[in-house]
Amino acid sequence: MYIKTVRIFFSKSGRAIYISHLDLMRAMTRAFSRSGLPVWYTQGFHPHLYITFALPLSLGTTGLCESMDVRLLEEVSDEEIISRLNAALPEGVQAVSAGEPVMAPKEIMWADYHVHLRCVVSEGRQALERFVALEEIPTQKRSKKGMKTVDIKPMLKILSVEEQSDGLMLKLRCRAGVEINLNPTLALDALTEITGFKSDWTTIERFAILNEALENFK
């Protein structure tokens, strides 16, 4: 039987942003197997590695504060977990820290993103001003019962807009969690739909995952 659960924080960047969530789960399972770390497998007819991810990351997005939980069969120091796992992880995925879980994944309420829009600065600014002034942002969202229209205005906060030589850098705060989760690309699609503005090139990076009190998920 396992002795404890450990939460491992990792980053996903570079070529690794194209690994889908499903593929990442498989890659992690294999990485644990290669690492030789004493991790717990579920019992039963098809035993598999017990591994849960706090909040899936969309394909194409960089993640700096991703986390997953596994269970240990023996005591292993946090440093050793990190070093052994890093030796077994593919390019672009890196374990950063490990420790005992403090919060439950269901406490997650918000996620913060850096969104870099390569565009003509004035055009981007104008579009964003119109966007922020809207009372409602009705958006088509895929749900279990097909497409439905939801107002994403309450799920979205633009924390800052910074000018850069080749465009704009936004800090977005989006609702996140198991129940309600707003993918920033959906917000950007709405921006394009409503204002007609489209960046030449967009990169997105998730840099914080927060609870209701805006504390970092630990």
Partner 1 sequence: MTLDQLDLLLSQVQKPARYTAGEMGAVVKTLTPGMLRYAFCFPDLYEVGMSHLGMKILYGHANRRDDVWCERVFSPDADMQTAMEEMGVPLFALESLDPVKDFDLIGFTLQYEMCYTEVLNLLNLAGLAIRAKDRTDPFPLVVVGGPCASNPEPLADFIDLVSLGEGEEVSDELFDLCIQAKKEGWDKPEVLRRAAQIPGIYVPSLYDVTYNEDGTICTITPREGAPAVVSKRVITDLDSVYYPENFIVPFLDIVHDRAVVELFRGCNRGCRFCQAGFLYRPIREKSFETVAKDAKNLIESTGYDEIGLSSLSTSDYCGLEPLLDSLLDWTEEKHVNLSLPSLRIDNFSESLMEKVTRVRKSGLTFAPEAGTQRLRDVINKNITEQNVTDTCRTAFLGGYTAVKLYFMMGLPTETLDDIKGIADLAQKVVDLYYSMPERPKGKSVSVNISVACFVPKPYTPFEFEPQDSMEALREKQKYLLSCVRSRKISVSYHDSATSVAEAALARGDRRLCQVVEGAFLRGSRLDGWDDHFKPLAWQEAFEEAGLDPDFYARRRRSYDEVFPWDHLDYGVTKAFFIREHQKAMQAATTPSCFAGCNGCGAQRLTGGVCKCI
Contacts to partner 1 by CB under 8 A: 14-16, 18-20, 22-24, 26-27, 29-34, 41, 47-49, 59-60, 88-92, 201, 203
Nearer to partner 1, 91 or 179 (CB): 91
Inter-residue contact 93 to 23 (CB < 8 Å): no
Residue 69 burial class via C-beta count within 10 angstroms: exposed 0-12, middle 13-18, buried 19 and up:
middle
CB of 135 to partner 1, least distance (A): 32
Residue type, 12: K
CB of 66 to partner 1, least distance (A): 15
Nearer to partner 1, 87 or 159 (CB): 87
The Cα 127–Cα 122 span in angstroms is 9
Nearer to partner 1, 118 or 218 (CB): 118
CB of 206 to partner 1, least distance (A): 17
CB of 209 to partner 1, least distance (A): 23
Nearer to partner 1, 18 or 134 (CB): 18
Residue type, 174: C
Cα angle, residue 181 at apex, residues 59 and 48 outer, rounded to 5°:
60
Inter-residue contact 66 to 53 (CB < 8 Å): yes
Nearer to partner 1, 31 or 174 (CB): 31
Inter-residue contact 12 to 63 (CB < 8 Å): yes
CB of 142 to partner 1, least distance (A): 17
33: nearest Cα among 18, 48, 21:
48
Residue 89 Cα to chain centre, angstroms: 18
